[in-house]
Amino acid sequence: MKRIQRIISAALVAVIAFTMSACGGSPSENSGSSGASAGQTASASAAGPAELSMLVVGDNSPPDTNSVLKEIENKTNSSLKVTYVSLADSASKLNTLIAAKTLPDIFWASTISDAEQLKQNGMLSDLTEYVKDAKSIQDNLGEVLASHPLNKDGKVYALFNADHDYAQNMNIRTDWLKKVGKEMPTDLDSLYDVLYAFTFNDPDGNGKNDTLGLGASIVGNWNNFTSILGAYGIAANMNGLRPVQLDDGTVTTGLKHKNFLDAIKYFQKLYQNGVMDPDFATIPTMDSFGKLWNGKVGAFDFQCPGPTNNWMPSRYTENPVPTFDFAAIKGPTGQAAQGKIYPSYTPSVVVSSTCKNPAAAVKLIDFFLTEDGNALLRLGVEGKHFNWVDKAAGTYEMIKPYDDSTTNRNDGVFVYSDFIRPKITTERRTFNAQTKQGVEMADAMCTIEWPFIYTSFEADTNYGANLKTVEKEVFCQLISTKGNLEEEYKKAIARWENEGGKEWEQEATAAYNSQK
Amino acid sequence: MKKSKAEIIGMIINGVALFLIAFITIYPFWHVLMYSISDSQRASAGGLFFLPKGLDITGYELVLKQPQLYNAYWNTIARTAVGTLLSVILTAMLAYPLSLSRLKGRKFLCIAIFFTMLFNGGMIPTYLLVNDLHMIDTFWALVIPNAMSAYNLFIMRNYFQSIPASLEESARIDGANPITVLFRIILPISTPTLAAVGMFYGVSNWNAYLDGVLYINNNSLQILQVYLRNLFSSAGSGAVLSGIQGISDAARVTEETLKMVTISVSVIPILIVYPYLQKYYTTGITTGAVKG
What's the pLDDT tens digit per position in A60-111?
Answer: 788 888 999 999 999 999 999 999 998 888 999 999 999 888 999 999 998 8
Residues B122, B171 share a domain = yes
- Confirm or reject contact between A94 and chain B (CB < 8 A): no
Sign of CA dihedral B220, B222, B228, B233: negative
Out of A13-17, A112-116, A298-302, pick the least confident: A13-17
Contact A23, B133 (CB under 8 A): yes
Beta bridge partners of A398: A386
Residues B282, B188 share a domain = yes
pLDDT of residue A363: 97
Do the Cβ atoms of B123 and A95 come within 8 Å?
yes
DSSP state of B163: S
Sign of CA dihedral B273, B274, B275, B280: positive
More confident residue, B254 or A117: A117
Closest residue of A to B94, CA-based?
A12
pLDDT of residue A406: 73
For the residues B248-272, what does the mean pLDDT come to? 74
Probe site for chain A from B124, B247, B252, B261 (most A CB atoms < 10 A): B247
The span from the CA of B242 to the CA of B238, in Å, is: 6
Q: What is the pTM of this model?
A: 0.79
For the residues A290-302, what does the mean pLDDT come to? 93
A122 burial type by CB count under 10 A (0-12 exposed, 13-18 middle, 19+ buried): exposed
pLDDT of residue A88: 85
Q: How far is B201 from chain A (nearest CA, A)?
A: 17
pLDDT of residue B191: 87
Residue B5 clears pLDDT 80, i.e. is over it:
yes
Residues B271, B174 share a domain = yes
Residues 6+ apart with CB under 8 A from A210: A204, A296
pLDDT of residue A30: 36
- Domains belonging to chain A, first-starting first, are 34-164+344-424 (3.40.190.10), 169-340+447-514 (3.40.190.10)
Residues 6+ apart with CB under 8 A from A41: A31, A51
Residues B285, B160 share a domain = yes
Helix (H, G, I), strand (E, B), or coil: what is residue A41? helix
| A24, A96, A311 ranked by CB distance to B134: nearest | A24
pLDDT of residue A354: 95
DSSP state of B257: H
B18-41 in b/e form (b: 16+ CB < 10 A) is eeeeeeeeeeeeeebbbbbbbbbb
The CB density around residue A368, as the number of other CB atoms within 10 Å, is 23
pLDDT in tens, A226-243: 999 999 999 987 655 678
Q: Nearest to residue A105, comparing CAs of A52, A160, A45, A58?
A: A52
Sign of CA dihedral A160, A161, A167, A168: negative
pLDDT band at B2 (very low <50, low <70, confident <90, very high): confident
At A64, the amino acid letter reads D
| Percent of chain A scoring above 90 in pLDDT | 71
pLDDT of residue B56: 86
pLDDT of residue A239: 58
At A298, the amino acid letter reads G
Residue A418 phi, psi (nearest 5): -100, 5
Probe site for chain A from B249, B254, B257 (most A CB atoms < 10 A): B249
- Confirm or reject contact between B176 and chain A (CB < 8 A): no
pLDDT band at B1 (very low <50, low <70, confident <90, very high): low
Residues B208, B110 share a domain = yes
Do the Cβ atoms of B230 and A11 come within 8 Å?
no
A169 burial type by CB count under 10 A (0-12 exposed, 13-18 middle, 19+ buried): buried
User: What residues make up the domain containing B222?
Assistant: 63-290
- Confirm or reject contact between B254 and chain A (CB < 8 A): yes
Q: Nearest to residue A397, comparing CAs of B40, B188, B248, B230?
A: B248
pLDDT in tens, B30-88: 999 999 998 877 777 667 678 888 888 888 887 887 778 888 989 999 999 999 999 99
pLDDT of residue B283: 64
Q: How far is A477 from chain B (nearest CA, A)?
A: 25
Residues B144, B3 share a domain = no
Closest residue of B to A287, CA-based?
B44
- DSSP for A388-457, please give it: EEETTTTEEEEPTTTTSHHHHHHTTTTTTTTSS--SS-HHHHTS-HHHHHHHHHHHHTEEE------S--
Residue B256 clears pLDDT 80, i.e. is over it:
no
The span from the CA of A459 to the CA of A510, in Å, is: 11
pLDDT of residue A34: 38
At A152, the amino acid letter reads K
A334 burial type by CB count under 10 A (0-12 exposed, 13-18 middle, 19+ buried): exposed
pLDDT in tens, A164-192: 889 999 999 999 999 999 999 999 999 99
Contact A329, A227 (CB under 8 A): yes
A154 burial type by CB count under 10 A (0-12 exposed, 13-18 middle, 19+ buried): exposed
pLDDT of residue B286: 61
Contact A116, A87 (CB under 8 A): no
Q: How far is B2 from chain A (nearest CA, A)?
A: 56
Residues B194, B69 share a domain = yes
Show residues of chain B in contact with A4, CB under 8 Å: 177-178
The span from the CA of A361 to the CA of A454, in Å, is: 26
For the residues A403-427, what does the mean pLDDT come to? 89
- Confirm or reject contact between B251 and chain A (CB < 8 A): yes
- DSSP for A153-197, please give it: TSS--EE--SS-PPPPEEEEEHHHHHHHT-PPP-BHHHHHHHHHH
Show residues of chain A in contact with B123, CB under 8 Å: 92, 95-96
- DSSP for A52-111, please give it: EEEEEESS----TT-HHHHHHHHHHTEEEEEEEE-HHHHHHHHHHHHHTT---SEEEE-S
- Confirm or reject contact between A47 and chain B (CB < 8 A): no
pLDDT of residue B99: 92
pLDDT of residue A498: 96
Upstream peptide bond of A62 is cis (omega within 30 degrees of 0): no
Q: Nearest to residue B91, comparing CAs of B5, B133, B151, B42?
A: B151
Residues 6+ apart with CB under 8 A from B26: none
Three-point CA angle B169, B170, B176, nearest 5°: 85
The span from the CA of A221 to the CA of A133, in Å, is: 40
pLDDT in tens, B141-181: 999 999 999 999 999 999 999 888 888 888 888 888 888 99
Contact A124, A352 (CB under 8 A): yes
Do the Cβ atoms of A8 and B147 come within 8 Å?
no
The span from the CA of B100 to the CA of B87, in Å, is: 20
Cα separations in angstroms, A134 against A91, A332, A363, A426:
29, 48, 7, 20
pLDDT in tens, A43-64: 444 568 999 999 999 877 888 8
Beta bridge partners of A212: A297
Residues B151, B39 share a domain = no
Show residues of chain B in contact with A23, CB under 8 Å: 133-135, 138, 140-141, 143-144
Cα separations in angstroms, A332 against A189, A190, A237, A258, B274:
11, 13, 20, 12, 65
Residue A499 clears pLDDT 50, i.e. is over it:
yes
Q: Nearest to residue B192, comparing CAs of B163, B166, B172, B165?
A: B163
- DSSP for B104-156, please give it: TTHHHHHHHHHHHHH----HHHHHHHHHHTT-TTSGGGGTSTTS--HHHHHHH
Contact B249, B243 (CB under 8 A): yes
pLDDT band at A18 (very low <50, low <70, confident <90, very high): very low
Average pLDDT, chain A: 88
Contact A336, A210 (CB under 8 A): no
- Confirm or reject contact between A387 and chain B (CB < 8 A): no
CATH of the domain at B194: 1.10.3720.10
pLDDT of residue B150: 94
Radius of gyration over every alpha carbon of chain A, rounded to an integer in angstroms: 27
Residues B50, B76 share a domain = no
Show residues of chain A in contact with B217, CB under 8 Å: 32-34, 83
Do the Cβ atoms of A315 and B251 come within 8 Å?
yes
Do the Cβ atoms of B239 and A405 come within 8 Å?
yes
For the residues B235-245, what does the mean pLDDT come to? 48
Residues B46, B119 share a domain = no
Segment (H or E) for B46: none
Closest residue of B to A385, CA-based?
B247
**What domain count does chain B have?**
2
The span from the CA of A85 to the CA of A289, in Å, is: 27
pLDDT of residue A27: 33
Residue A17 clears pLDDT 90, i.e. is over it:
no
Do the Cβ atoms of B124 and A95 come within 8 Å?
yes
- Confirm or reject contact between B222 and chain A (CB < 8 A): yes
Residues B68, B21 share a domain = no
Out of A9-18, A76-85, A270-279, pick the least confident: A9-18
The span from the CA of A21 to the CA of A19, in Å, is: 6
User: Dihedral angle at the C-alpha atoms of A79, A85, A86, A90, nearest 10 degrees?
Assistant: -120
pLDDT of residue B172: 87
At A126, the amino acid letter reads D
pLDDT in tens, B77-119: 999 999 999 999 999 999 999 999 888 999 999 999 999 999 8
More confident residue, B281 or A195: A195
Residue A5 clears pLDDT 60, i.e. is over it:
no
Do the Cβ atoms of B247 and A312 come within 8 Å?
no
Residue B292 clears pLDDT 50, i.e. is over it:
no
The span from the CA of A408 to the CA of B69, in Å, is: 15
Number of A:B CB contacts under 8 A? 188
- Confirm or reject contact between A408 and chain B (CB < 8 A): yes
Closest residue of B to A317, CA-based?
B41
A134 burial type by CB count under 10 A (0-12 exposed, 13-18 middle, 19+ buried): buried
> What was the ipTM of the complex prediction?
0.73
Show residues of chain A in contact with B241, CB under 8 Å: 306, 310
Residues 6+ apart with CB under 8 A from A45: none
Do the Cβ atoms of B242 and A312 come within 8 Å?
no
Q: Nearest to residue A369, comparing CAs of A356, A380, A381, A378?
A: A378
Residues B49, B69 share a domain = no
Domain boundary among B34, B56, B78: B56
